[in-house]
A and B are shown apart, each in its own frame.
Chain A
Amino acid sequence: MKQRRTWWNTGIGLVLTALMLFPIYWMVNASFTQDRYLRKTPPDWFPVHGTLEGYRAVLTQQLPYLGNSLVIGLGAVALTLVLSAPAGYALAKLLPSGGGALSFVLLIAQMIPGIIMAMGFYTIYLDLGVVNTAGGLIVADSTIAVPFGVLIFTAFMSSIPEELTQAAIIDGAGSFRTFWSVILPVSRNAIVTVSLFTFLWAWSDFIFASTLDQGGTRQPITLGIYHYIGNNNQQWNAIMATAVVASIPATVLLVVAQRYVAAGVTAGAVKD
């Protein structure tokens, strides 16, 4: 009886998952189908008229965009880690007065709509002359992740046993040594979680890219896709192929680091 109910549930689960993931399947399907067969009714449910043309278009036209996104994503990760790990350590272990206020400000900061940040950044970047630069975009993208990073590091480092830091202090280590050689090495999970989410958010960012990097020579993949869509003669095969390639980091993330993902969603509960 019990056994049968489990299989029944698995069956329903498979159907629900298939329904939920259908749009993704449809994207992949279109990415492999020749453009002229995409326009027919009823549509082909499988890429029977298969082609790799879309992916060829990605290789010839979108490679620079993908490279830029990689650089911008890694830059945002580095910046976010450097800023948020020390702050997390302070808020978790050194507990300076006013630390609570800082956490509060960080929570509020997460709620600010991206469009407002984008407009503020735009005026500042005009003054500084850094509109359309990769560096400017890295800084702007990091604002999506830094508050999240501090909160994750604080939560994680709070759970590191006090004995560990005490032992380091007795051994004569200063706060910086303790942070660097005791706290950081055991905080691997937090580092992975923060890095993964920061990279994903920077990689996915559209609002900062489309405002601060509109005329740049180093545009990320989100703008690559956007230019494709904006094109009147929409080539859905190429658009969907690019979309599939742009989804690779998210997919890799889910496969490689599933437990970190679920932890990140529940702990930070943020997404722009």
Chain B
Amino acid sequence: MRLRREVVGWAFCAPVVVYLVCFYAYPLYRNLDLSLRNYTVRSFVQGDAPFTGLANYRTVVENPTFWPALAHTIVFTLVSIAFQFTIGMALAVFFNRHFRLSVTLRALFLVPWLLPLIVSASTWSWMLNSDSGVVNAVLHGLGMSPVNWLTSPRWSLISVIIANIWIGIPFNLVILYSGLQAIPSTLDEAAALDGATGWQKFWRVTFPLLRPVSAITILLGLIYTLKVFDIIWIMTRGGPTDSSTTFATWSYRLGFGNLLPAFGPGAAVGNLLIIMALAFGIVYLRLQRKQQAA
């Protein structure tokens, strides 16, 4: 009976297991293989690329783009998360007041998160357009000089971060709001009876109780922000002159952005990115397990 259950259980899982092997493990293996060989367009077709060990990784690290791309990846991720989380938290606390229309308005806040990234990215490109963008029009109205948001190396990274924050706020809002729901309102009322102000209530009661949910939100945010590609590529293509290039866009450009693809180095950059994502991923899974056990 037990054995039967095992067999039937795995029979139901079999399609997904086969699928994971063919469409996750195998592409990952091919990607690793790409990064360890010297591929050219010719050898790509003929499949006889010579094994070159870590040569691609050395090429990548010695490339002048490496350090800027690493710095941009870190800045993009950390600044995005800091703002998404803070704004998401403020909104979650606000919507937790349950006022008239709060359910509808909270749902509307989800829209940016559900839109195809190409839609959000092109809308922001349009708003940040140097000559006819609405943002510069507003700056002009305030008596400030216009900014070349997407075409100046000083501003391009900031521009894509702004767009990415906008996209990430709903996710933070929803997760943190669900965390707030789990906090019994009696605690809040008790603090109010003790004469705590709204600000004190937040820092002394709400925030500490929300710490587990906050940690999960931030870690998931890290994992998903590290791999953001669409927004940056569509808005600036990592430019001008690498000023908004991250590992994700650099990897794509190496592999697909040029006429002569450099698949080996592209795959190498991708694998460095995967290591970063998985490092946070493992922290996330351990944290989640610990919280489930508690």
Report which A residues bind B (CB closer than 8 A).
5-7, 9-10, 12-14, 16-17, 20-21, 23-24, 26-27, 30, 38-43, 82-84, 86-87, 89-91, 94-99, 102, 104-109, 111-124, 126-127, 139-140, 142-143, 146, 150, 175, 179, 200, 203-204, 206-207, 210-211, 214, 221-222, 225-226, 229, 236, 239-240, 243, 246-247, 250-251, 253-254, 258, 261-262, 265-266, 269-272
Contacts and interface: CB of A to CB of B under 8 A. Distances in A.
Nearest to A41: B137
A184 to B, nearest CB: 12
A206 B10 contact: no
Contact of B100 (A6, A97, A115, A175): A6
Contacts of B26: 120, 124
Interface stretch (B54-62, B63-71, B124-132, B188-196): B124-132
B109 A17 contact: yes
A222 B118 contact: yes
B119 interface: yes
A93 B114 CA distance: 32
Contacts of B17: 102
A102 B216 CA distance: 21
B109 A96 contact: no
A3 to B, nearest CB: 10
Given A99-B9, A225-B122, 5 more contacts: A9-B102, A104-B285, A106-B20, A113-B277, A240-B126
Interface string B191-226: 000000000000000000000000010001001101
Given A9-B97, A261-B110, A94 B5 contact: yes
User: Helix, strand, loop or mixed for chain A's interface?
Assistant: helix
Contacts of B127: 23, 26
Contacts of B11: 90
Contacts of A229: 122, 125, 234
A253 B114 contact: yes
A247 B122 CA distance: 12
Interface residues of B, number: 93
Interface string B155-179: 0000000000010011100110010
A246 B116 contact: yes
Contacts of A6: 99-100
A84 to B, nearest CB: 7
A112 B274 contact: yes
Given A116-B271, A258-B107, A206 B15 contact: no
Contact of B223 (A26, A111, A253, A261): A111
A250 B115 contact: yes
B239 interface: no
Contacts of A7: 99-100
A13 B98 CA distance: 11
B132 A41 contact: yes
Given A116-B270, A119-B270, A266 B178 contact: yes
A91 to B, nearest CB: 7
Given A211-B256, A226-B118, A105 B20 contact: yes
Given A9-B97, A113-B248, A240 B117 contact: no
A200 B114 contact: yes
B126 to A, nearest CB: 6
B238 interface: no
Contacts of B140: 41-42
Given A42-B140, A246-B116, A250-B111, A117 B27 contact: yes
Nearest to A140: B23
B163 to A, nearest CB: 9
A229 B50 CA distance: 39
A254 B111 contact: yes
A247 B273 contact: no
B270 A243 contact: no
A99 B230 contact: no
B246 to A, nearest CB: 10
Given A96-B9, A113-B274, A27 B141 contact: no
B15 A271 contact: no
A266 B122 CA distance: 28
Contact of B229 (A13, A16, A108, A115): A115
Give the 7 A-B residue pairs with the shortest CB-CB distance, closest first. A120-B27, A96-B9, A113-B227, A204-B116, A94-B9, A90-B12, A9-B99
Contact of A90 (B10, B23, B24, B91): B10
Contacts of B252: 115, 118, 207, 211
Contacts of A99: 9, 13
A123 B111 contact: no
Contacts of A26: 123, 126-127, 134
A243 B169 contact: no
B180 interface: no
A271 B171 CA distance: 9
Interface string B236-280: 000000000000100110011000000100110011011001100
